[in-house]
Copies of this chain bind each other. A is one copy, B any other.
Amino acid sequence: MRDNFHDRIRLPSLREKVTSAAAAAHWVRDGMTVGMSGFTRAGDAKVVPLALAERARHEQLKITLMTGASLGNDIDKTLTEAGVLARRIPFQADPALRSAINRGEVMFVDQHLSETVELLRTRQMAPIDVAIIEAIAITETGAIVPTTSVGNSASFAILADKVIVEINLTQSPELEGLHDIFIPKRRPQREPIPIMSVRDRVGTTAIEIPPEKIVAIVITEKADSSSNILPPDAETAQIAGHLVDFFKNEVKQGRLTESLLPLQAGIGTIANAVLAGFIDSPFEHLTMYSEVLQDSTFDLFDAGKLDFASGSSITLSPQKSRDVFANIGRYKDRLVLRPQEVSNHPEVIRRLGIIALNTALEADIYGNVNSTHVLGTHMMNGIGGSGDFARNAYMAIFATKSLAKGGDISSIVPMVSHVDHNEHDVDILVTEVGLADLRGLAPRERARAIIGNCVAEPYREMLRDYVERASRRGGQTPHLLEEAFSWHVRYRDTSSMLLPLEEARLRA
Contacts and interface: CB of A to CB of B under 8 A. Distances in A.
B196 A475 contact: no
Nearest to A188: B197
A471 interface: yes
Interface string A132-155: 000000000000000000000000
B187 A352 contact: yes
A187 B391 contact: no
A476 B101 contact: yes
B417 A419 contact: no
Nearest to A368: B419
Interface stretch (A103-111, A158-166, A275-283): A103-111
Contacts of A187: 261, 351-353, 394
A58 interface: no
B194 A192 contact: yes
A322 interface: no
A475 B439 contact: no
Nearest to A394: B122
A387 B482 CA distance: 28
Given A123-B254, A124-B439, A345-B350, A107 B475 contact: no
Contact of A442 (B107, B347, B478): B107
B351 A395 contact: no
A23 interface: no
A507 interface: no
A253 B476 CA distance: 45
A253 B352 CA distance: 37
Interface string A308-351: 00000000000000000000000000000000000001110111
Contacts of A470: 377
Interface in A461-479: 470-471, 473-479
What is the count of identical protomers in the complex?
A: 2
Interface string A416-448: 011110101001000000000001111011000
Given A192-B351, A373-B477, A379-B476, A108 B442 contact: yes
Contacts of A345: 350
A201 interface: no
A95 interface: no
A190 to B, nearest CB: 5
Contact of A476 (B112, B196, B347, B378): B378
Given A122-B394, A345-B350, A111 B424 contact: yes
Interface stretch (A14-22, A210-218, A484-492, A497-505): A484-492
A126 interface: yes
A394 B115 CA distance: 9
Interface residues of A, number: 84
A439 B125 contact: yes
Contacts of A349: 346
B107 A445 contact: yes
Given A419-B368, A474-B103, A346 B485 contact: no
Contacts of A261: 187-188
Interface in A34-60: none
Contacts of A29: none
Contacts of A255: 122-124
Contacts of A350: 345-347
A440 B424 CA distance: 26
Nearest to A89: B440
Given A119-B439, A424-B110, A439-B124, A481 B376 contact: yes
A395 B125 CA distance: 12
A10 interface: no
Nearest to A388: B391
Contacts of A353: 122, 187-188, 190
B123 A188 contact: no
| Pairs A-B, 5 closest by C-beta atoms | A377-B475, A192-B192, A379-B476, A419-B419, A107-B442
8 contacts: A102-B476, A107-B445, A109-B442, A124-B440, A188-B352, A190-B196, A346-B347, A377-B470
